Amino acid sequence: MLSAIKLTLMLFLSGFIACYGSNPNYDSIHKLLLVSFDGFRADYLKNYRLPHLQEFIEDGVLVEHLINAFITKTFPNHYSIVTGLYEESHGIVANEMYDEDTKKKFSQFNDADPFWWNEATPIWVTNQQQENRRSAAAMWPGTDVKINNTTPHFFMKYNYSVTFEERMGNVTMWLNNSQPPVTFATLYWEEPDASGHKYGPDDKENMRKVLEQVDNHIGSLMDKLKALGLWESINVIITSDHGMAQCFPKRLIKLDDCIGRGNYTLIDTSPVAAVLPRSNKTYVYNLLKNCSTSMKVYLKEEIPDRFHYRHNKRIQPIILVADEGWTIVQNETLKKLGAHGYDNALPSMHPFLAAHGPAFHKGYKQDTINTVDIYPMMCHILGLKPQPNNGTFTNTKCLLADQWCVNLPEAIGIVVGVLMVLTTLTCLIIITKNRMSSPRPFSRLQLQDDDDPLIG
């Protein structure tokens, strides 16, 4: 009886491992293309028709929403994706930064000083420090900067006027052609973020138009990779940095109504404002604290742990976090109908992740992972030893074809299955024993009695 249990379990497990552990398509060179469509809010996938993206997902995996890093802005989250670090640990803590010691300033248009980037090492650098491998970048924050004295072997200077077709054409050419091979590449596109800011995510008509264009870009990327014969062997991740929230002209927090401008310097603006007090910090804090019920005011030391946004000198002494849909200004009127940057617990701030290729399962959906979990997963796919990071590899195991992953419904299924097989076996054994060890009179009659309930 015991050996029967053992045998059944072994059969089950070996079948299970055979199904989930093997991956016949896995290439010796694992190429990975990481694509970001800026500001692609998770629920756009549910609310708009995106046939090419759906086709990509059907044959790959989908993580319905990513818990991204606070603050939910572009530069910080793009750097979290490629380093696996929270913002306080990779040092790109905002789109606008100021360093008190060196008096240096950082902005989206003045981002080329390696000083800002060197607190972390992104995956494209680590990838190139392995023998015989190159990285390529068709834009991505930081890819045109020498980080640890290295840029991707192929890269483009950031220029938003370069069309998607040109970025895609160049990056796929680089992926196809070079010797030694390009094993890691990035591709970045500014939409649907730009339209999300301009129209606001509630403008269904305009968002439908831009998302149709984004979806067509995904279609042409798939076509291009197919035409080059790369589609079956390359791993492609399509993801984003953050979502978008609707803003309202009436939901303005005017700092000028609460505090004179001479008291502070505004380093970064809405919806997470970074405030550098000019004189008495407590005085400035008290005035701001009493300014609006629609924003939180934190001394740096008070910033909640869950934001992982405290331990870096580039985080200013006071930060203001507007509630969803609210805008912090000094005295201006509302300029953008959509914004992001808010609390990373808000669903409207979450992007998604989809992936396709030999490293990934086909047709698998998962509710969530963290943005910082993407990095250890990418290192695994590329066979790189990850730098110290804040991601958790096991969170992504179920997405990966070469990992053994049991999720809860599956586990319950297996247990029930094993129990059913064991019960059946036990019954059979008992019946067989009864049949063989019963040379009694009227045995036939008895057996018929026993059989009846089984037949019924």
Ligand X SMILES: *[C@@H]1O[C@H](CO)[C@@H](O)[C@H](O)[C@H]1NC(C)=O
Task: List residues with catalytic annotation.
Answer: 74
| Interface characters, 229-258, with Zn ion (x: CB under 5 A) | ------------x-----------------
What residues between 331 and 390 interact with ligand X by CB under 6 A? 331, 388-390
74 binds, among ligand X, Zn ion, none (CB under 5 to 8 A by kind): Zn ion
Tokens matching residue 104: 């240096």
Q: Does 111 bind Zn ion (CB under 5 A)?
A: no
Q: Which residues pair with 107 in a beta bridge?
A: 110
Q: Does 308 bind ligand X (CB under 6 A)?
A: yes
CB of 433 to ligand X, least distance (A): 60
d(CA 240, CA 55): 18
38 binds, among Zn ion, ligand X, none (CB under 5 to 8 A by kind): Zn ion
SS3 152: coil
Residue placing its CB nearer to ligand X in the complex, 53 or 225? 225
Q: Does 260 bind ligand X (CB under 6 A)?
A: yes
Q: Does 395 bind ligand X (CB under 6 A)?
A: no
What residue is closest to Zn ion based on CB?
74
Q: Could you tell me which stretch among 36-44, 47-55, 179-187, 280-288 binds Zn ion (CB under 5 A)?
A: 36-44
Q: Which residues of 218-242 are buried (b: 16+ CB within 10 A; e: fewer)?
A: bbebbebbeeeebbebbbbbbbbbb
CB neighbour class for 169 (10 Å; exposed up to 12, middle 13-18, buried from 19)? middle
Do 100 and 271 form a contact (C-beta atoms < 8 A)?
Answer: no
- How much helix, strand and coil, in percent to the nearest 5, is found in the chain? 40, 20, 40
What residue is closest to ligand X based on CB?
262
Strand residue runs (E) in 52-180: 61-67, 97-99, 104-106, 134-138, 154-155
CB of 72 to Zn ion, least distance (A): 9
Residue placing its CB nearer to ligand X in the complex, 91 or 351? 91
Do 20 and 362 form a contact (C-beta atoms < 8 A)?
Answer: no
241 binds, among Zn ion, ligand X, none (CB under 5 to 8 A by kind): Zn ion
Q: State the amino acid at position 79 in one-letter form.
A: Y
Q: Any idea which residue has 């076996």 for tokens?
A: 425
Tokens matching residue 286: 């008290």
CB of 166 to Zn ion, least distance (A): 21
What residues between 196 and 255 interact with ligand X by CB under 6 A? 228
Q: Does 283 bind ligand X (CB under 6 A)?
A: yes
| Interface characters, 145-174, with ligand X (x: CB under 6 A) | ---xx------x--x-xx---x---x----
d(CA 176, CA 336): 40
d(CA 360, CA 399): 6
Residue placing its CB nearer to ligand X in the complex, 56 or 158? 158
Do 260 and 296 form a contact (C-beta atoms < 8 A)?
Answer: no
Q: Which DSSP symbol is given to 305?
A: G
Applying CB under 5 A, which residues contact Zn ion?
Answer: 38-39, 74, 193, 241
Applying CB under 6 A, which residues contact ligand X?
Answer: 85-86, 89, 121, 126, 129, 148-149, 156, 159, 161-162, 166, 170, 176-177, 228, 259-260, 262-263, 280, 282-283, 286-287, 290, 308, 331, 388-390
